[in-house]
Structure 1
Amino acid sequence: MSKNKKINVEYEGKVIEVNEGTKILDIMEDLKPKKESVIVAAKIENELRELNYRLKESCELKFLDLTDSDGYRIYRRSLSFVFIRAAKEILSGARISVEHSLSKGLYCEIHYKRPISEDDVTRIEERMKEIVDEGVDIKKDRVPLNKAKDIFKNLGMESKTKLFEFQDRTELNIYTCGWLQDYFYGYMVPNTSYLKNFQLRFYEPGVIIRYPQKENPNEIPEFTEQKKLSSIFRESEKWGEILEVAYIANLNTHIKDNTYPELIRVAEGLHEKKTVEIADMIKEQNKRIVLIAGPSSSGKTTFSKRLSIQLKVNGLRPIELSVDDYFVNREDTPLDENGEYDFEAVEAVDLKLFNEHLNKLVKGEKVEIPTFNFKTGKREYRGKFMQIDEDQIIIIEGIHGLNNKLTEAISDDKKFKIYISALTQLNIDGHNRIPTTDTRLIRRIVRDSKYRGHSAKTTLGLWKSVRRGEKRNIFPYQEEADVMFNSALFYELAVLKKYAEPLLKEITKDDKEFLEAKRLLKFLHYFLSIERDEVIPQTSILKEFVGGSCFRD
């Protein structure tokens, strides 16, 4: 790389000449990029680059801040690195595990010789602020794999050491912040001064790292406790202990040793046990209406079928009522902020008619159920009548199931609300988590290809809109549920891998979805593949996505 060679860098029409090998962060003052929040990374030719990246040729730059998904992940990841260092300095000998998202933050646990206290958390936060104010460089070095394993071993990071026993790479990127070295799945900010906006909150038995969200990148949102979501995550941790599968390396060991069929049977058995418990609760509480809601690719269809079977075992006769048949006529559909039909809004349903019919059905009266003609956009009546007996339960599955507007005419003592989502039970290692969103996204990529003829590019292109609808219509109501069901399976990504990888590899560098496809491929690479689908029961939620479900028409 020649120091004298000049290259051109363009940003939003402005072109400057710099020396080859200049770091991106060194030219930001000249380019004066305007973004909504702190800039943490850049894009060059549809490739994600850290701000420490040295430019090799003429290019066009795009800067990323917290409003961008990749920028948001970089900020959160870098913040967790500083947290790990500060916690280890305040509580010498502690082991830190980064667990999952919670209450618009990142829930972590500190494993120490005694339970941590609120005072411990305050001291860790103060130390984090000191590290941020010091502007400590976060350096990246390419290290031989054997040396990296020695680093992890000396730091007591056993989950990382085991993870890379299954990797075919010879080198690894290791990040350094002061004295602490660590491996992270993804990029970092150049130094700690970029991370000024954060808070810690003691959340027994752990800590929630709080930071701005993409929607409002300069302010930390008001804390809203999610007790039920926290409880289901802790239940998942317990399941992980039962199965002895907390990290990818544990799963890979089962796959390598061919002991995974038993793991699958136990995981499916735990799902069945939870479904039975829910059916028993519905029977004991004498509920008449069961509402099932959850985000995309949670496995709502299979779960509702399995629940129906258990309700029948309990002597009940469940029937399904489709919310889709109660859509308002197309011309009456509400519009979104872009002036387009918003079919996911609760007002897209004829709430008055739906509530009127529910009320009559619960009273034992007969009603004529409409059918919505999706081709004409009109509601039709085709002589389909419904009347239920006292031993019959109405099951309603849909995104608005937890929103009281959908069933406000029915008293709460007659309703049973279930929230279902794939709340990831498995992490890469102690410091690198697998977001629940990624599990659902990979499920959807596989299902959309198999049953809808969609490419991975199409699914990724629609995902932002899907996520927006979930944030508006599902997540605000999840704590309204009477019970939560975690549809994730410890082993599923090892099964989905062989289906998802070829689809993601079809996405080229010229596609705007390329970065996301590359990110997903990278984390799927950590898994050994489970090739034998026949060991998965036909009743499994996973079969809804890979095919072979006994519940699919």
Structure 2
Amino acid sequence: MKTINVTIDGETFEVPIGTTVEGLLCKAKLLDGDKECSYFDNPYIGSLVNHELHSCSKPLMSECTLEPVKLFGDMGKRMYRHTLCYLLCSAVSMLYPDRKLVIGHSLGDGYYFSFDDEYTLESSDIETIANTMHNLVSQNLPIELVTLPYNEALSYFNERQFKQTEALLSTRNDPVIELYRLLGYLDISYEPLLGRTGLLQVWELRPYQEKGMLLRYPRSYDFQQLDTFKDNPLLFSVFKEYKAWGNILDIRSLGQLNTMGNQNTIGSFIRLAEALQQKKIANIADQINNRGNIKFIFIAGPSSSGKTTFAHKLCTQLQVLGKKTIKISLDNYYLDTDLVPKDEEGKPDLEALEAIDVVQFQKTLNDLGSSKPVHLPLFDFKTTTRVYEPDEAIMDKRTLLVIEGIHGMNPKLISNIDKDMVYRIYISALTQLNLDDHNRISTTDNRLIRRIVRDNRTRGTNAEATLSMWPSVQRGENRNIFPYQNNADIMINSALDYELGVLAPFAQPLLKMVKPSQEATYETARRLLRFLDNVNPIASTLVPQDSLLREFIGGSEYNVI
């Protein structure tokens, strides 16, 4: 039997080719194959194989270096959540073989699931499903990575009426398909899964809304237990609205989108998707106009949510209603770099509210609100200093201030303003499109892909640099944006169901330039590339010039950068 050399922590092991990651970890005495691991022991649950993440059941086919991955970490967290979803889907398949479970979206510390036939889940149903999941966990069953020939995999999903998975595979031509197997249940996962069910020990399945259930998991800051449940009905209402849009567009999965592109019907789909988003923006303008007393409109959201273009489009709709608008970006109120607070790494923390000259901003609002002329600031990011517009801005009775920036929901920013004069809009790219029925497309990954494309176009930044700064961006969002999202009067989804097809041809060559030697970012680049391999390209020439997507790919009529 042929052997390969595998190195862990400087020690090299000679093992038969095809040895699994788990087998190698046992040989290195990092795992005990005869001992059941506990979730609370923070066990090894996979490994970076030449800096790419793999599950314990992955066979090793060539010489490599292994870096074991533990459960309580960023990569372990992702594997745990995906495996929880897999466990739920397998339990439902055993109990309801003729019904199709669909993952909807993330909601706080959980994922929303429902049946595609609108079957109403009773409390007794959810209790039965949870008990089945607990039973599978108690047996500590293996979750095995297996490969099937393409036609055999396609036939498997066709026989079980997994139409969205079949649609996804029908637009691919891989000779073999990697699947995960638990007992007789097979399914796709585009991210690695844990190797055994026994590790899935901290979760909750609870009824949610009128027809679904919420699968909850531990937060990153406390792996030991679940948080007390906190509902977010405003966010759920946004997802519910966009699910209805998905029904109008007659699409809910990436496989369906790929098929539409292959049939050359994507142009009309793009126009319909853009029209639905435009209608939503017009409805928001109507609500603002009907309130009568609104003077200040704040737009906030996380990185790459499309705040700038949305602000322009909203101004247009307000002007249609006879309003004048003055657009202000909070980015122009940054303090000089030496006055900006430092983050955990000692770098300027541009995500912090304290990086903004709040006093000057509030004075601007007071002066404009009192009909005083104001020279609005412009922050020069090259010199990191503030300059001022030569022309004065002034408000009259018809004028509205439209202010966009990440801190727009923070009450400290507008502590001196009459709240009845304020309207707040939260915007984010909340993907309603799924990979298939059991694998959702991450909202965060969608924003990251947008950011990679835009940073390269506008700043000449390579993907490695954007990926390196992304953890800091996320820390800032968790601290400064997400806690205030429910202060919004309304939420809007900036995601367009067709956008990944447009973004993929821009993002893929950039991600391929991230090499194994760039260890801090390589795994994320590989993960995004594995996901984008499922996406068929859509010509960027089909994207309207006023589309919010143009903020990222370029060519916007609003000249946003």
Band of TM-score, shorter chain = over 0.9
1:139–1:394 distance in 2 versus 1, CA, 3 Å: same
Of 132, 136, 144, the residue aligned with 2:141 is 136
Matched, 1:422 2:429: yes
C-alpha distance in 2, partners of 1:168/1:375?
47
Alignment of 1:147-186 (within 5 A): 147-186=152-191
3-state SS of the aligned residue for 1:321?
Answer: strand
1:19–1:371 distance in 2 versus 1, CA, 3 Å: closer
1:522–1:175 distance in 2 versus 1, CA, 3 Å: same
C-alpha distance in 1, partners of 2:7/2:381?
50
Which has the higher mean CA deviation after the structures are superposed, 110-119 or 479-488?
Answer: 110-119
Q: Is the 8 A contact 1:37 1:217 kept in 2?
A: no
C-alpha distance in 2, partners of 1:153/1:236?
28
The aligned residue for residue 8 of structure 2 is: 10
Of 195, 201, 207, the residue aligned with 1:196 is 201
Shift of the alpha carbon at 1:505?
1.9
* Aligned partner letter, 2:534: Y
Of 526, 536, 540, the residue aligned with 1:528 is 536
Of 327, 342, 346, the residue aligned with 2:353 is 346
Partner deviation per Cα, 1:208-266 (whole Å, 9 max, x = no partner): 11112333223223322111111111111111110111111211222111111110110
Q: Is the 8 A contact 1:93 1:112 kept in 2?
A: no
Aligned residues: 548
The aligned residue for residue 500 of structure 1 is: 507
* Aligned partner letter, 1:24: V
Q: Is the 8 A contact 1:10 1:59 kept in 2?
A: no
Unaligned runs of at least 5 residues, structure 1 = none
Shift of the alpha carbon at 1:130?
1.0
Q: Is the 8 A contact 1:139 1:176 kept in 2?
A: yes
Of 151, 155, 168, the residue aligned with 1:146 is 151
1:264–1:143 distance in 2 versus 1, CA, 3 Å: same
The aligned residue for residue 49 of structure 1 is: 54
The aligned residue for residue 265 of structure 2 is: 259
Which has the higher mean CA deviation after the structures are superposed, 131-140 or 502-511?
Answer: 502-511
The aligned residue for residue 226 of structure 2 is: 220
Aligned CA-pair RMSD: 2.5
Partner deviation per Cα, 1:338-361 (whole Å, 9 max, x = no partner): 343322211222323322432342
Q: Is the 8 A contact 1:10 1:61 kept in 2?
A: yes
C-alpha distance in 2, partners of 1:338/1:413?
40
1:289–1:421 distance in 2 versus 1, CA, 3 Å: same
Which has the higher mean CA deviation after the structures are superposed, 488-497 or 82-91?
Answer: 82-91
Of 67, 72, 87, the residue aligned with 2:92 is 87
* Aligned partner letter, 2:8: E
Q: Is the 8 A contact 1:288 1:392 kept in 2?
A: yes
The aligned residue for residue 35 of structure 2 is: none
Shift of the alpha carbon at 1:27?
5.2
* Aligned partner letter, 2:219: Q
Alignment of 1:285-364 (within 5 A): 285-286=291-292, 287-364=294-371
Q: Is the 8 A contact 1:425 1:489 kept in 2?
A: no
The aligned residue for residue 249 of structure 1 is: 255
Shift of the alpha carbon at 1:75?
1.2
Matched, 1:20 2:28: no
The aligned residue for residue 405 of structure 1 is: 412
Of 466, 488, 502, the residue aligned with 2:495 is 488
C-alpha distance in 2, partners of 1:92/1:185?
23
Alignment of 1:456-495 (within 5 A): 456-495=463-502
Partner deviation per Cα, 1:477-508 (whole Å, 9 max, x = no partner): 11211111111111111111221222222222
Which has the higher mean CA deviation after the structures are superposed, 272-281 or 457-466?
Answer: 457-466
3-state SS of the aligned residue for 1:387?
Answer: coil
Shift of the alpha carbon at 1:293?
0.7
Shift of the alpha carbon at 1:90?
3.8
TM-score (norm 1): 0.92
C-alpha distance in 1, partners of 2:517/2:245?
42
Matched, 1:234 2:240: yes
The aligned residue for residue 107 of structure 1 is: 112
C-alpha distance in 1, partners of 2:104/2:182?
21
C-alpha distance in 2, partners of 1:482/1:163?
37
Matched, 1:449 2:439: no
1:382–1:154 distance in 2 versus 1, CA, 3 Å: closer
The aligned residue for residue 187 of structure 1 is: 192
C-alpha distance in 2, partners of 1:501/1:321?
34
Shift of the alpha carbon at 1:411?
2.2
Unaligned runs of at least 5 residues, structure 2 = 32-38
C-alpha distance in 1, partners of 2:208/2:6?
50
Shift of the alpha carbon at 1:514?
2.4
Q: Is the 8 A contact 1:145 1:172 kept in 2?
A: yes
TM-score (norm 2): 0.91
* Aligned partner letter, 2:183: G
1:82–1:8 distance in 2 versus 1, CA, 3 Å: closer
3-state SS of the aligned residue for 2:440?
Answer: coil
3-state SS of the aligned residue for 1:522?
Answer: helix
3-state SS of the aligned residue for 1:264?
Answer: helix
Shift of the alpha carbon at 1:16?
6.6
1:547–1:375 distance in 2 versus 1, CA, 3 Å: closer
3-state SS of the aligned residue for 2:439?
Answer: coil
1:53–1:534 distance in 2 versus 1, CA, 3 Å: closer
1:218–1:61 distance in 2 versus 1, CA, 3 Å: farther
